[in-house]
Chains A and B, each alone.
Chain A
Amino acid sequence: MPEYAKFTEDMIKTHTILVPDMLPIHFRLIISIFEAEGYKMELLQNCSRSVVDEGLKNVHNDACYPALLVIGQFMDALKSGKYDLNKTALMITQTGGGCRASNYIHLLRKAIDKNYPQIPVISLNFSGLEKDSAFKITPVMFLKMFYAVLYGDLLMTCYNKCRTYEINKGQSEKVLKKWQKRLGNIYRKKSNFYLKLSRISNDILNDFAEIPLSSEKKIRVGIVGEIYVKYSPLANNHLEDFLISEGCEPVVPSLLEFVMYCAAGTFNDAKIYDNSNTQSRIYRLGYEIIYRQQKKLISIMKKQGSFEPFHDFEHLRKLADKYINQGVVMGEGWLIPAEMAALVQSGVDNIICTQPFGCLPNHIVAKGMSRAIKQDNPDANIVAIDYDPGATRVNQENRIKLMLANARR
């Protein structure tokens, strides 16, 4: 492999690490964890047309939309003149697995290779890829990140519900901002307070629960799909905002489900293919710890009572078994049909499945499975929306409107 710029020990102090805009709420929390360790990080916010143009220039025509946007956002930022190119690094997530997404980091390196060979690219992964980087995640940081995912999910869920029904415009956003700041401070101060799951969660839930909401009945719309397009407003043309403007409540499954799906995949594969080893047993153990915390959070949410609790992950796995084998682990795999089924079960019949145009795993797990889900649940109202640099908002919105017309019928 040709030599590319490595992220070295001394860069931790000197370099600003740019982070793509995928999950604005979660990523901000995670950034504060790194800041506590001395890293300098910045969440990218650039989202003009030139992001897409840079992506088109630098990424293969047939590569998928998330790769194009992430790389486009980086290139656009690097060209903006805002950053000292000798003191900038890029961070990208890398999941590993049979989907082409595991190659994003290489596509990014190819893209910057010509003009910015000095810029190191950091892989954020939990599968032991790219071991030669000074960018290290200690077990404590890992734990902190896990809690950041929990709190991020909680904030996202509460915020989405409250801003749909809030009577005083902007109140939910204030509460969100307050908690982002508070949690950020907890992490930056290196305090152990973040471990107090029930206290913090209850405070968050109660704070949001105090926001006066209208009792108006709105259509609830679930959003599932490819992980980046599902969460990133840049990719999905601000889907959540659009749904709210259409008088709907967006229901977005938690990020933790995806994290647990990845963990479960490892030990489940070991079972399916008879190749259990220490690593898979560790994953199993880790999964069980995470699952206990999820159950704890779910029961906190139930007890508090104002917000719909997350899907219990073991329940999701059982639901998946009705439609697809849990051996389907590329991309979002079996999680997509499971989430669709869980949404329908909890009364969210209307579902938008977001996917990059031509996404390989989604042929199977999204478009391929929606028929089965509709068959079992005649009320299910599922629409698959393709996202692509050329797809226009009008076309996407018109299809969503058709889904909503069905919902209102």
Chain B
Amino acid sequence: MNKKLSLGIDVGSTTVKTVISDSDGNIIYSKYQRHLSKVKETVTDQLKIIQADYPDDTFTVCITGSAGLGLANSAEIPFVQEVHAAFLAVQKKYPDADSVIELGGEDAKIIFLTGGVEQRMNGSCAGGTGAFIDQMSTLLGITADELDKLSMRSQKIYPIASRCGVFAKSDIQPLLNQGARREDVAASIFQAVVDQTVSGLAQGRSIEGKVLFLGGPLFFLKGLKNAFVRTLGLDEENAVFPEEAPVFVAYGCSLYSSTSDDYFKADEIINKISRAKASDGIVTGKPLFASQVEYDDFIDRHKKYDLAYADIRKYKGNAYLGIDAGSTTTKLVLITDDGKILYHHYSSNMGQPLDKIADQIKRIYQEMNPDITIKGSAVTGYGEDLIKSGLSIDCGIVETVAHFKAASYFCPNVDFIIDIGGQDIKCFRIKNKSIDSIMLNEACSSGCGSFIQTFAMALGYDISEFSQMGLFAQHPVDLGSRCTVFMNSSVKQAQKDGATVEDISAGLSMSIIKNAIYKVIRANSPDELGRNIVVQGGTFLNDAVLRSFEKEIGRNVIRPAISGLMGAFGCALYAKEKATAEKSSLISEDDLNSFAYTSRSAQCKGCTAHCQLNIINFGKGRRFISGNRCEKGGGTASRNTVPNLYEYKYTSIINTVKKHQPKRPVGTVGLPLALGFYEQLPFWHMLFTELGFRTVVSDESSRGMYYLGQHTIPSDTVCYPAKLTHGHIENLLDKGVDFIFYPCMSYNIDEGQSDNHFNCPVVAYYPELLLVNNPRLNESNFIHPYLDINVKKNVIRVLKNSLKGYNLRCKIPDALEKAYKAMEYYNGEIASQAESIIRQARAEKKKIIVLAGRPYHIDKEINHGIHKLITALGMAVITEDSVSALARTPKLNVLNQWTYHSRLYRAAQYVTTQSDMQMIQLVSFGCGIDSVTGDEVRNILESHGKLYTQLKIDEINNLGAARIRLRSLVAAMEK
């Protein structure tokens, strides 16, 4: 029995795979098993099976996999990087393959074989992996297999951001809440994974020829397979899904080990593994509770904030219904006149909030004493509009107001509220009995409740059991506090280093708190939070989280026992305040029994934005439309007369080139409608027109435009405005221009009000990146000279040089003069338009919002129509550049050296002098410079008693968070 056998052990993030191959490279044994984070135990178990089957054989051995590295080191077993292992296996089994795509638990990899071997892995910031699919299934309350089955019955695909799991969630959640078909959402999730792989990983190299698909998700999920095959346009012959896919990497690992001469018997390997010591590299904190007594005191203290209950069957009189249709959960409260709880409900909405809530109201009707009159009802949360119209609720209120109402009930002088729910962290500072500032979590600060839940499930525990375990952990692990993806790997590392489940549970609770305090609130000291703090949200029901919070800020806080129901409770209180009618308009029991609805999707044709609409029909002619940004799509025919400078600026930029063109052009120049051109287009258009060129501008931005150039984006963490540029370049190339003109500019226009007048590095040098990463561009069809637009002689020299072939030397100076005039004229138009908007708004007694950002934020694909949301709330909108000339730069704490950013400071300063104005700052995700400007603008505004609101935008066009902020702002302004 002394054959030459090789053993490969693949320890992935979620599974352990073992393969034995013989000297001819045939797989003679294989096993695939989930390890539930018990890595060492699972490996040992599998080895014991091998020991039983092959008691007398010896093996060469090697370990691979993302979680195998540490194990291999400490067990002194050779290690091979997993992508390389896959590469070896492919060479052996499928030598004719052209490329390989492998999706693992937390990694995505791609190997190009023909035309230069290249192996790639996803960067540190990436969704689109097995864990991502698991997370999304959890969100829908189903297993990955069920998700797969659902996807097979899809009719349409929604765009879902695929770069980041957190972003994807915020795309999916509103779809679900608005009643999109789950089948379609499932298919869209798979498509998002495909897009992420094709664009994020391949980065310009096309995936063609024979493609091999590996890894668990691609083996088990049929819908995912189909999406890949469809997107890559592969036929059956060229899309290979090997039988041995789940253990393929382990197989490659065994092949790698076969080159070794060191043979071991199975029990020797088991010994090595069990002797492997965990490294002591983990950082730990102090236990949450030192003793049982401390814990008991803690529990007693919080018991004070319980509510009284009344029996729904016995109570007679008025009642008020509050509903909080949250992003993942549904909360419902029915209270009496004196605030006693008659009925309450808290559950996951399973992606079907409308059905869930209808069921609950049905139960209330069944259980309630016939002598109860529901006098009022109110709803809040992401699903507010849908629930309100579907179930005829009396009023809808913004979440922040609901929470504030509820918190004041428990603590009338509350000055800080922090709410940690499943998906969101919301914090409000209260000043003068009104909400002063709001902080919400964003993509990179997203660790919330659902995160603990996902972890508990992954480790095989129930959530409440899991969090209880952390209470008395001796050495809570320090897990960092950035993004959930990163936290995943921190947990993996801690496990490998021997942390117990108890320590991890406590560590997770602490990291959520640290995330909230230092990333979301960004407080330097506990005093900054407030004196009377109310904590709420489902996550705070977890004692470990509550304790972590108290420990971190060094102060006791109030947690109402109905912590998870505060939004609903606030609604009920609000309904009570507003109840004037005899009876609530709430859907009657009879109507409820025949309640049914159908949903379908459509594209709005109201304007060029073509919003993706979701139309829900409740029968009897009642319907609910969502997805629309302005009221045009809403099915109600009112005309928007609130003035909006964004619209004006955008239209005039779009129409610039339509104005005039030379009759007999000497050539055609293409200008991309992107980044700096959103401001300088009038300049360049005039210049080229005067020089005799026909100017062609790329088409308006859209998600489609983004996809058009997605394959040429080398850095997936650059801002969305920059990413869109790639599409505009492709678009111009398709239009067949003679050349594209896109200058590099370290310096922007000097407005004389700042220490320097730089562009940000991305705006300044993006043409360099475009040229190198788009194979269709070359030095002759892409002219990208360096110039300083402030220095005339420089522009003249550079243009003479760049346009040498056209013999225009003497025309340039005159054309340039006209270009400067055109720019001046355009700026003047903006300023006078702003003046008239301000006049009109004041005449109509409307508030004015300075929606401040960059010139390219007028692009509707970048701002996602936020300006329309504002005008829909009845406020006029102007831009930062239209008022920045009206104020001087205030004293700043930072170096004021970028033209665009310096306008923000002046615009903010101007706003502080106008009683009817407020400022909202638009920030593109990934803009490092706005980490500097944001704080400074906030300072300027708040030091003059103005509110500061920042809206972060990216490719996701979910405006839910923006809507909450805007409505809260309105609420705060009304006070």
Contact digits for A363-378, partner B, Cβ 8 Å, 1 yes 0 no: 1110111111000001
The CA of A266 and the CA of B416, in the complex, are separated in Å by 50
B478 touches A364 (CB 8 A): no
With CB as the reference atom, state the residue of chain B lying closest to A49: B283
The CA of A32 and the CA of B520, in the complex, are separated in Å by 42
Contact digits for A172-214, partner B, Cβ 8 Å, 1 yes 0 no: 0000000000000000000000000000000000000000000
Number of B interface residues at 8 Å Cβ cutoff, please give it: 84
B699-715 at interface with A (beta carbon < 8 Å):
714-715
On whether A274 and B931 interact (CB within 8 A), knowing A103-B894, A363-B769, A368-B773, the answer reads no
A366-409 at interface with B (beta carbon < 8 Å):
367-372, 378, 384, 386, 388-399, 401-402, 404-406, 409
B74-131 at interface with A (beta carbon < 8 Å):
79-81, 83-84, 87, 116-117, 119, 121, 123-125
A358 touches B926 (CB 8 A): yes
B84 touches A402 (CB 8 A): yes
Could you tell me the distance in whole angstroms from the C-beta of B61 to the nearest C-beta in chain A?
A: 18
A272 touches B786 (CB 8 A): yes
B772 is contacted by which of A63, A371, A378, A405 (Cβ under 8 Å)?
A371
Question: For the complex, is A325 an interface residue (Cβ under 8 Å from B)?
Answer: yes
On whether A273 and B788 interact (CB within 8 A), knowing A56-B519, A358-B926, A409-B117, the answer reads yes
The CA of A30 and the CA of B729, in the complex, are separated in Å by 48
A369 touches B772 (CB 8 A): yes
Binds B, one of A285-293, A301-309, A328-336, A340-348: A328-336
B769 touches A274 (CB 8 A): no
A368 touches B714 (CB 8 A): yes
Question: For the complex, is A238 an interface residue (Cβ under 8 Å from B)?
Answer: no
Could you tell me the distance in whole angstroms from the C-beta of A307 to the nearest C-beta in chain B?
A: 31
With CB as the reference atom, state the residue of chain B lying closest to A367: B715
- For this complex, 23 residue pairs linking A to B, each with C-beta atoms less than 8 Å apart, are A57-B524, A60-B934, A62-B930, A63-B931, A100-B932, A106-B893, A106-B894, A106-B932, A110-B893, A111-B524, A273-B787, A274-B791, A274-B797, A275-B794, A325-B768, A361-B765, A362-B715, A390-B487, A391-B486, A394-B66, A395-B124, A402-B119, A409-B87
Which residues of chain B are within 8 angstroms of A367 by Cβ–Cβ distance?
Answer: 714-715
Question: For the complex, is A64 an interface residue (Cβ under 8 Å from B)?
Answer: yes
Contact digits for A261-276, partner B, Cβ 8 Å, 1 yes 0 no: 0000000010011110
On whether A394 and B764 interact (CB within 8 A), knowing A114-B525, A325-B744, A409-B84, the answer reads no
On whether A329 and B81 interact (CB within 8 A), knowing A49-B283, A371-B204, the answer reads no
Question: For the complex, is A128 an interface residue (Cβ under 8 Å from B)?
Answer: no
Which residues of chain B are within 8 angstroms of A258 by Cβ–Cβ distance?
Answer: none
A100 touches B787 (CB 8 A): no
The CA of A406 and the CA of B88, in the complex, are separated in Å by 12
With CB as the reference atom, state the residue of chain B lying closest to A375: B772
Number of A interface residues at 8 Å Cβ cutoff, please give it: 75
Which residues of chain B are within 8 angstroms of A146 by Cβ–Cβ distance?
Answer: none
A392 touches B928 (CB 8 A): no
Which residues of chain A are within 8 angstroms of B893 by Cβ–Cβ distance?
Answer: 1-2, 106, 109-110
For B524, B759, B926, the residue with the greatest tally of chain A CB atoms inside 10 Å of its CB is B524
B761 touches A98 (CB 8 A): yes
A102 touches B926 (CB 8 A): no
A401 touches B486 (CB 8 A): no
A274 touches B794 (CB 8 A): yes
On whether A390 and B481 interact (CB within 8 A), knowing A63-B928, A384-B123, A405-B84, the answer reads yes
On whether A56 and B518 interact (CB within 8 A), knowing A331-B761, A368-B772, the answer reads yes
Q: Which 9 A-B pairs have the closest CB atoms?
A: A390-B482, A390-B486, A405-B84, A62-B931, A368-B769, A98-B758, A273-B788, A274-B794, A367-B715
Which residues of chain B are within 8 angstroms of A327 by Cβ–Cβ distance?
Answer: 744, 746, 765, 786
The CA of A396 and the CA of B773, in the complex, are separated in Å by 25
With CB as the reference atom, state the residue of chain A lying closest to B479: A390
Question: For the complex, is B480 an interface residue (Cβ under 8 Å from A)?
Answer: yes
Which residues of chain A are within 8 angstroms of B204 by Cβ–Cβ distance?
Answer: 371
Which residues of chain A are within 8 angstroms of B116 by Cβ–Cβ distance?
Answer: 378
B931 touches A61 (CB 8 A): yes
Could you tell me the distance in whole angstroms from the C-beta of A261 to the nearest C-beta in chain B?
A: 15
Which residues of chain A are within 8 angstroms of B766 by Cβ–Cβ distance?
Answer: 364
A406 touches B119 (CB 8 A): yes
Residue pairs across A and B with CB atoms within 8 Å: the count is 221
On whether A329 and B746 interact (CB within 8 A), knowing A369-B772, A391-B486, the answer reads yes
B66 is contacted by which of A99, A358, A389, A398 (Cβ under 8 Å)?
A398
With CB as the reference atom, state the residue of chain A lying closest to B445: A61
Interface residues of A (CB under 8 A from B): 1-2, 48-49, 52-53, 56-58, 60-64, 97-100, 102-103, 106-107, 109-111, 114, 269, 272-275, 323-325, 327-331, 357-365, 367-372, 378, 384, 386, 388-399, 401-402, 404-406, 409
B761 touches A364 (CB 8 A): yes
B374-424 at interface with A (beta carbon < 8 Å):
none
A368 touches B81 (CB 8 A): no
Question: For the complex, is B490 an interface residue (Cβ under 8 Å from A)?
Answer: yes
Question: For the complex, is B466 an interface residue (Cβ under 8 Å from A)?
Answer: no
Which residues of chain B are within 8 angstroms of A61 by Cβ–Cβ distance?
Answer: 442, 444-445, 519, 522, 931
A56 is contacted by which of B481, B758, B786, B898 (Cβ under 8 Å)?
B481
Could you tell me the distance in whole angstroms from the C-beta of B100 to the nearest C-beta in chain A?
A: 14
B524 touches A114 (CB 8 A): yes
The CA of A372 and the CA of B772, in the complex, are separated in Å by 6
A49 touches B125 (CB 8 A): no
Which residues of chain A are within 8 angstroms of B927 by Cβ–Cβ distance?
Answer: 62
B746 touches A386 (CB 8 A): no
For B714, B718, B793, B935, the residue with the greatest tally of chain A CB atoms inside 10 Å of its CB is B714
On whether A363 and B70 interact (CB within 8 A), knowing A56-B481, A327-B786, A402-B121, the answer reads no
Which residues of chain B are within 8 angstroms of A64 by Cβ–Cβ distance?
Answer: 928
Question: For the complex, is B426 an interface residue (Cβ under 8 Å from A)?
Answer: no
With CB as the reference atom, state the residue of chain B lying closest to A274: B794
The CA of A390 and the CA of B759, in the complex, are separated in Å by 29
Could you tell me the distance in whole angstroms from the C-beta of B904 to the nearest C-beta in chain A?
A: 14
Which residues of chain A are within 8 angstroms of B480 by Cβ–Cβ distance?
Answer: 52, 389-390, 392
A404 is contacted by which of B81, B124, B445, B718 (Cβ under 8 Å)?
B81
Which residues of chain B are within 8 angstroms of A392 by Cβ–Cβ distance?
Answer: 480, 486, 489-490, 492-493
Question: For the complex, is B666 an interface residue (Cβ under 8 Å from A)?
Answer: no
Question: For the complex, is B722 an interface residue (Cβ under 8 Å from A)?
Answer: yes
Could you tell me the distance in whole angstroms from the C-beta of A302 to the nearest C-beta in chain B?
A: 33
The CA of A98 and the CA of B747, in the complex, are separated in Å by 9
A390 touches B483 (CB 8 A): yes
Which residues of chain B are within 8 angstroms of A361 by Cβ–Cβ distance?
Answer: 761, 765
The CA of A287 and the CA of B769, in the complex, are separated in Å by 28
The CA of A388 and the CA of B483, in the complex, are separated in Å by 11
Could you tell me the distance in whole angstroms from the C-beta of B510 to the nearest C-beta in chain A?
A: 11
Which residues of chain B are within 8 angstroms of A48 by Cβ–Cβ distance?
Answer: 283
Known: A48-B283, A406-B117. 10 other contacts (CB 8 A): A57-B524, A110-B893, A273-B794, A328-B765, A329-B746, A360-B928, A365-B765, A390-B487, A394-B492, A401-B81
For B119, B769, B897, the residue with the greatest tally of chain A CB atoms inside 10 Å of its CB is B769
Which residues of chain A are within 8 angstroms of B764 by Cβ–Cβ distance?
Answer: 98, 328, 330
On whether A388 and B519 interact (CB within 8 A), knowing A62-B444, A103-B932, A371-B773, the answer reads no
B69 touches A394 (CB 8 A): yes
A363 touches B493 (CB 8 A): no
The CA of A146 and the CA of B623, in the complex, are separated in Å by 75
Could you tell me the distance in whole angstroms from the C-beta of A105 to the nearest C-beta in chain B?
A: 8
For B66, B482, B722, B766, the residue with the greatest tally of chain A CB atoms inside 10 Å of its CB is B482
The CA of A58 and the CA of B525, in the complex, are separated in Å by 10
Question: For the complex, is B892 an interface residue (Cβ under 8 Å from A)?
Answer: yes
Could you tell me the distance in whole angstroms from the C-beta of A48 to the nearest C-beta in chain B?
A: 8
B734-786 at interface with A (beta carbon < 8 Å):
744, 746-747, 756, 758-762, 764-766, 768-769, 772-773, 786
The CA of A274 and the CA of B786, in the complex, are separated in Å by 11
Could you tell me the distance in whole angstroms from the C-beta of A197 to the nearest C-beta in chain B?
A: 35
Question: For the complex, is B895 an interface residue (Cβ under 8 Å from A)?
Answer: yes
The CA of A315 and the CA of B69, in the complex, are separated in Å by 40
With CB as the reference atom, state the residue of chain B lying closest to A102: B895
